[in-house]
Structure 1
Amino acid sequence: MRGHLLDLSATGALCHSDMPFRAGDRVLIDADCLGVAGRVVWSGGKRFGLHFEAALPASVLDRVLHQS
């Protein structure tokens, strides 16, 4: 399944996907620069909010946010 990260913080993310998700669903983000698991905390249309199971270290967050 493919999706897009619209916003990212150390503890969660705003995501977009054509596949519907419901609150409580477990999601794994598996990308070249990021691998993290989280739970859907809200869903509306094709957007949903994730809360990560473990906070991202500052070094990882900085690398992802400043990647070109």
Structure 2
Amino acid sequence: MIGRTSLFARNAFTKLVRNSHAHGGVPGENLPFGIENRFKLTAYFILFFGSGFGAPFLVLRHQLTK
């Protein structure tokens, strides 16, 4: 029983790797966002990290103005 399970897992993983369409060698190919436009990428980084940094201050302001 264990042999069948490991064979199934190996075949499933092989199929997943073959169908992933990751050719490799191109920087940023596997990222979920584009890195071609420098200014758009900068804006995304500012929004992403700025929201995480600014959230505690907004929560504090909300609590103090209650």
Q: TM-score, normalised by structure 2?
A: 0.23
Q: Taking CA–CA contacts closer than 8 Å with sequence separation of 6 or more, which of the two structures ends up with the larger relative contact order?
A: 1
Relative to its length, the structure with more helix (as a share) is 2
The structure that has the greater radius of gyration is 2
Normalising by structure 1, what TM-score? 0.23
